[in-house]
Amino acid sequence: MVADKPRILIADDQSDVREALRLLLKSEGFAADLVDSPAAVVKAVQEKRYAALLFDLNYTRDTTSGREGMDALPQILAADRNLPIIVMTAWGSIDLAVDAMRRGARDFIEKPWDNDRLLATVRTQIEFRDVLRNPVPAAPAPPPSITESAVLRADEMKRLKEERAALRVELEGAANYIRAMLPEPVLEPIPVDWRFLPFSAVGGDAFGYHWIDDDHFALYILDVCGHGVPAALLSASALKVLRAHALPAVDFRDPGMVLSALNNAFLMRDQNNLYFTIWYGVFQRRTRELRFSCAGHPPAVLLTCSGTRCAEAIGVPGLVLGARAGKRYETHSRTLDPGSALYLLTDGIYEVRQPDGSMWQFEDFMECVKTYDVPGGTPLDQLLDHVRRVRGDEALDDDVSLVRFSL
């Protein structure tokens, strides 16, 4: 028996857009239902289960506010709380997509879309849905006979193996999706190298860097509380917002302003009580000024080589992001000497329990940076090897992200 094709609901007020999406999805083995209004979406979701929803936010009321689409989101999610909603929006309205994700949408696609990216997003969100959807326990059955028990045990073992294999495939797909969002290491004009070791199949760490303009380079790292798919979804959403500059009226060269706006966009109450810590900085190449802000995240480590070799913590204490609406984060600054190295990290690299039960400290990690970050060396690999020796085991206790910038 051939399995049913995953069925996608497509909602857009333009018939040519609906048809183009239908044909694209059909070519990749998906079936599709087409509707032209938010009301029709709600009706369709109430009557049928869909693998995902491609949902335009703008309809007949006007062409820019997205209010009709936004207003329908609670009804759609009430009908199917696990439905992956992928909103579609023009680049100029990307802040609408961010607001939609705060209200329960899983991802967004800009119009005009890239076919490969759209298909990858649909597939990944379907995999996330399958992981998040909890099966309802079956009612207890009467005790079987001894012979029946042996057969049932064999069947149950087979079923469990198949379920675990399917779950492993889904989690690996989700992990690949998160890893694909991380930027590639670069050699110029600012050399960047990194290591990313999730504790479980899918972790809550994420980081990024990009040029805001010709003179300002953004660099950031975040850590969502917990592990697994929900944490990964939140870290992926935050990365998308930072990379797309999708916070209205925010100067992304001002780290404090960025974190203050990001805080209000990702409040815990809207994220199933998940929160994250973040370190966000902007390096101005012309003046060599590093401006930065922190929300409960470990400091960066600055290694300077002029005069006495020195490792310094660059950060300030602060409330985790999303804990309180209206929280204001401050911008701090530091001028860097030429030839400096800056490390962004998550706490899994230094919160390591040693075999005697004692905990390794942040200061110990900074000393290791001074030891291993030498010309011609491979500091990231050497640091990780040292941490494993401290741990006394190959397996670490948490997600580990470590990013080195040559500034």
pLDDT at 230: 72
- The pTM assigned to this predicted structure is 0.65
Residues 316, 298: Cα–Cα separation, whole Å: 8
Q: Residue 1 domain-assigned?
A: no
245 with 309, same domain: the answer is yes
pLDDT at 301: 94
235 with 315, same domain: the answer is yes
Helix (H) or strand (E) holding 46: helix 38-47
116 with 13, same domain: the answer is yes
Answer with the one of 99, 117, 132 that is the final residue of a domain: 132
229 with 359, same domain: the answer is yes
Q: Residue 150 domain-assigned?
A: no
pLDDT at 294: 95
Closest by CA position to 35, among listed 47, 46, 23, 43: 43
Q: Residue 234 domain-assigned?
A: yes
189 with 117, same domain: the answer is no
The structure tokens listed for 326 are 């209206």
DSSP string, 78-95: HH-TT--EEEEEEGGGHH
Determine contact, residues 72/48, Cβ cutoff 8 Å: no
120 with 211, same domain: the answer is no
Q: Residue 148 domain-assigned?
A: no
* Strands annotated E in 168-253: 192-197, 205-211, 216-224
Q: Residue 171 domain-assigned?
A: no
For residue 80, the domain's CATH number is 3.40.50.2300
Q: Residue 353 domain-assigned?
A: yes
pLDDT at 2: 44
Q: Residue 165 domain-assigned?
A: no
Give residue 229's domain range. 182-406
Closest by CA position to 289, among listed 314, 263, 261, 306: 314
Non-local (6+) Cβ contacts of 48 within 8 A are 7, 33
pLDDT at 1: 39
Q: What is the mean pLDDT of each run of 10 residues along the chain (407 residues)?
A: 75 89 90 92 93 86 68 88 84 65 77 82 76 46 53 58 56 63 90 82 79 96 77 82 88 96 88 86 97 94 77 88 91 93 90 78 88 85 88 69 93
Determine contact, residues 403/344, Cβ cutoff 8 Å: yes
Please state the domain count of the chain: 2
296 with 385, same domain: the answer is yes
Non-local (6+) Cβ contacts of 139 within 8 A are none
87 with 204, same domain: the answer is no
Q: Residue 142 domain-assigned?
A: no
226 with 295, same domain: the answer is yes
DSSP string, 362-405: HHHHHHHHHHH--TT--HHHHHHHHHHHHHTSSS-SS-EEEEEE
pLDDT at 179: 73
